[in-house]
Amino acid sequence: MGKIVVEYSNVEIKLDSDFKIEELSVVVKKGDFVFLIGKTGSGKSSILKSMYGEGKIKNGNAQISDTDLVSLKDKEIPHLRRKIGIIFQDFQLLKDRTVFKNLEFILRATGWKDLVRINQRIKSCLEKVHISELSEKFPGQLSGGQKQKVAIARSLLNKPEIIIADEPTGNLDPKSSIEIMNILKEINQNGNTILMATHDFSLLQKYSGRVLRCRNGKIDEIESTNLDIETIYV
């Protein structure tokens, strides 16, 4: 039995509107590749935000990477995020710095000081996503797919226990989406746990993984044999 990386039990997440997510229970184990699916506005992003400290949990029990999210204090959030890799739909790269400097910024901000180790870690992460040749490019010189590969490399820097990807292919063309998915699956096969929110049904048909459906403020798991658009989005 693999180590449990995420465990939510009867969790309630209050959103900005009147809508809330309640009775949320989910377990993610080390090495899992999990798709989180559902209609736009079903709460996928809110669930992910609660895992890295941006959304507050009101009730229930919730842990990620051995951190209690219910009692999490604001000052503890930076430490939590060192244990989690986060990939956003809109990349969130620093436009005035090269790819290398974007990654160096994260390492220095999370306590890395030794320049040799910093250089080695950046080189290693760029190699893992197959973009070593882009090290000295600026974000404005990159395609959307290349920017997302940089974002994936950034998520790997501190050897996270889980990578949370919020619609990582949402802004990409189909070819780039496939490239990103292939990299994520490759990373997963090397032992990384990945939780990925998506509304792209075609990805579920092409790539294997557990499928969790977010609907009516709750989550349930769907067997791969029952995957169809009606089941997921009705």
Average pLDDT, the chain: 89
| pTM, entire model | 0.90
The answer as to whether 13 is a domain residue is no
Separation of first and last alpha carbons in the chain: 34
Host domain of residue 113? 33-52+75-233
The answer as to whether 119 is a domain residue is yes
Contact 6, 162 (CB under 8 A): yes
State residue 128 phi and psi, 5-degree precision. -65, -25
Length of the chain: 234
The answer as to whether 94 is a domain residue is yes
Q: Where are the beta strands (DSSP E) in the chain?
A: 4-14, 20-29, 33-37, 57-64, 67-68, 84-87, 162-166, 194-197, 210-215, 218-222
Task: Note the pLDDT of residue 218.
Answer: 78
**Residue linked to tokens 């048909």:** 205
CATH number at residue 135: 3.40.50.300
**Domains: count for the chain:** 1
- State the Cα–Cα distance between residues 152 and 126, nearest whole angstrom: 9
Alpha carbon 147 to chain centroid, angstroms: 15
Task: Note the pLDDT of residue 210.
Answer: 93
The DSSP line for 175-201 is HHHHHHHHHHHHHHHTT--EEEE---H
Q: What is the pLDDT of residues 105-117, one digit of tens each?
A: 999 998 899 999 9
Task: Note the pLDDT of residue 81.
Answer: 86
The answer as to whether 9 is a domain residue is no
Q: Which of 187, 122, 128 is nearest to 157 (CA)?
A: 122
The answer as to whether 121 is a domain residue is yes
Q: What is the pLDDT of residues 115-143, one digit of tens each?
A: 999 999 999 999 999 999 999 999 999 99
What is the pLDDT confidence band of residue 45, given thresholds at 50, 70 and 90?
A: confident
- State the Cα–Cα distance between residues 77 and 80, nearest whole angstrom: 5
Question: Across residues 97-105, what is the average pLDDT?
Answer: 96
Task: Note the pLDDT of residue 209.
Answer: 92
More confident residue, 23 or 132: 132
The answer as to whether 17 is a domain residue is no
The answer as to whether 164 is a domain residue is yes
The CA distances from residue 27 to 4, 34, 36, 80, 185, in Å, are 7, 10, 12, 18, 20
The answer as to whether 177 is a domain residue is yes
